[in-house]
Amino acid sequence: MKPMTITEKILARHAGLKEVAPGELINAKVDIALGNDITAPIAISEFRRIGAKKVFNRNKVVLVPDHFTPNKDIKSAEQCKILRDFAREHKLKHYYDGGEVGVEHALLPEKGVVVPGDLVIGADSHTCTYGALGAFSTGVGSTDLAAVMITGELWFKVPESMKFVFNGRLRKWVSGKDLILHIIGEIGVDGALYRAMEFTGKAIDNLSMDSRMSMCNMAIEAGAKSGIIAPDATTEAYVSKRAERPYKFYSSDADAAYSEVREYDCAEIEPKVACPHLPENTKNVSDVKNVSIDQVVIGSCTNGRLEDLEVAAKILRGKKIAKNLRLIIIPATPFIYNEAMKKGWFDIFLKAGAIISPPTCGPCLGGHMGILAAGERALATTNRNFLGRMGDVKSEVYLANPAVAAATAIKGRIAHPDEVTK
């Protein structure tokens, strides 16, 4: 049998084949099919138009109304009601609403719904997040989601794999967010088009699960089909107490073929900022001078986890945010919200002058909870800074990690964390 990458092994298993090769078209069984309050209503409409009577497996179809919840208007309320009614009709095990809802790509790993070795599709481009667990996960369209809801299967073209090797130790204030921004800045938003981005190396071995999820989350911003990290002891420690199903660890063969291999020395990577209007427009934070900011957002499926809030609390402790700046902090799930509150971080955030939001995607997609007016600038820990992404097309969005975000909130301009912690 030919040597294979972790991605090829997972796809082969789900297609019932001994091996697969890049470019091959396969039909594969899906473990988890995910939709949210923007994409799932279209899938549900197609599901009914086709005349389907039931989902292929009520335990494997997952609906999370996280983008416009709590509902911001009548239209968003109607979208969420479609999900609610469908979940009740089909007795879906994994439907999250109200006080149980969280940002989907933080919620599913936390709940153990997605496990290593899975094949996951989601009608949301950042479904690639689950590659951090050693799963093959990718975003699809709403009609593809409808097809999987009915059949439990979908066709795929096996992607080529690119390997990104990170050597050495991370510098202070550098996280997975900076590593992925560094890659995107180097290869561009189409540099991994329809490829699987495999992250490896000593620095990746030492990354937390939160940072790994941040990296895989943004693989799509390089045009990738997926991002993936081979599971290890860190993965086992995370999933063993959460997984609701048996799981399997896969890894790439030593002599597996890659379309490209890139190596990095982490000692040379400092905190990054992606400037408007593309994630590839990255600079070192120390090179971004005198950029005043109106709003800082710490949250999203990229950086709304406990580790992210912890570093923000560490920097904000005993300090006040800049006058005329809005700081919005969004814990990604109810569990994260509760843990942050119990740890006393909410007191730090509130005394600093922040607004604390319930779990929601909200401002990341320009939905609610922090829309920008014309001429305003935001620095966010989110994943996209396209033109008009968070509001008016004459606004600007900068992307950075939570440490840079917290420092920026204090200074009122884009700032290195060392400026407020020395």
Within a domain: residue 52? yes
Domain C-terminal end among 223, 243, 264: 264
Domain containing 169 equals: 6-264
Instruction: List the CATH number of the domain containing 164.
Output: 3.30.499.10
Residues 114 and 234 in one domain: yes
Q: Which helix (H) or strand (E) holds 153?
A: strand 153-157
Q: Is 17 helix (H, G, I), strand (E, B) or coil?
A: coil
Query: In this structure, are strands 272-274 and 282-284 parallel, antiparallel, or unpaired?
Result: antiparallel
Within a domain: residue 96? yes
Within a domain: residue 1? no
Domain C-terminal end among 248, 264, 280: 264
The 8-class DSSP code of residue 265 comes to E
Within a domain: residue 166? yes
Domain C-terminal end among 247, 264, 281: 264
- In angstroms, rounded to a whole number, what is the distance separating the alpha carbons of residues 219 and 226? 6
Say if residue 16 is exposed, middle or buried (CB neighbours under 10 Å; 0-12, 13-18, 19+).
Answer: exposed
Within a domain: residue 46? yes
Within a domain: residue 81? yes
pLDDT number for residue 359: 96
* Cβ–Cβ < 8 Å for 20, 136: no
For residue 31, give Cα distances in angstroms to 10, 96, 142, 224. 11, 18, 17, 21
Residues 256 and 368 in one domain: no
Residues 277 and 255 in one domain: no
pLDDT tens series, the chain, 422 aa = 899 999 999 999 999 999 999 999 999 999 999 999 999 999 999 999 999 999 999 999 999 999 998 899 999 999 999 999 999 999 999 999 999 999 999 999 999 999 999 999 999 999 999 999 999 999 999 999 999 999 999 999 999 999 999 999 999 999 999 999 999 999 999 999 999 999 999 999 999 999 999 999 999 999 999 999 999 999 999 999 999 999 999 999 999 999 999 999 999 999 999 999 999 999 999 999 999 999 999 999 999 999 999 999 999 999 999 999 999 999 999 999 999 999 999 999 999 999 999 999 999 999 999 999 999 999 999 999 999 999 999 999 999 999 999 999 999 999 999 999 97
Residues 115 and 257 in one domain: yes
Within a domain: residue 63? yes
pLDDT number for residue 304: 97
pTM listed for this prediction: 0.95
Q: Is 389 helix (H, G, I), strand (E, B) or coil?
A: coil
* Cβ–Cβ < 8 Å for 120, 143: no
Within a domain: residue 236? yes
Residues 233 and 354 in one domain: no
Residues 14 and 104 in one domain: yes
- In angstroms, rounded to a whole number, what is the distance separating the alpha carbons of residues 323 and 306? 27
Residues 28 and 103 in one domain: yes
Residues 311 and 389 in one domain: yes
Residues 142 and 258 in one domain: yes
Counted domains in the chain: 2
- In angstroms, rounded to a whole number, what is the distance separating the alpha carbons of residues 4 and 10? 10
Residues 155 and 286 in one domain: no
Residues 258 and 282 in one domain: no
pLDDT number for residue 392: 94
pLDDT number for residue 422: 74
* Cβ–Cβ < 8 Å for 330, 300: yes
Beta bridge partners of 262: 164
Residues 125 and 256 in one domain: yes
| Token pair 């990170």: residue | 166
For residue 343, give Cα distances in angstroms to 28, 99, 198, 292, 346. 44, 20, 35, 31, 8
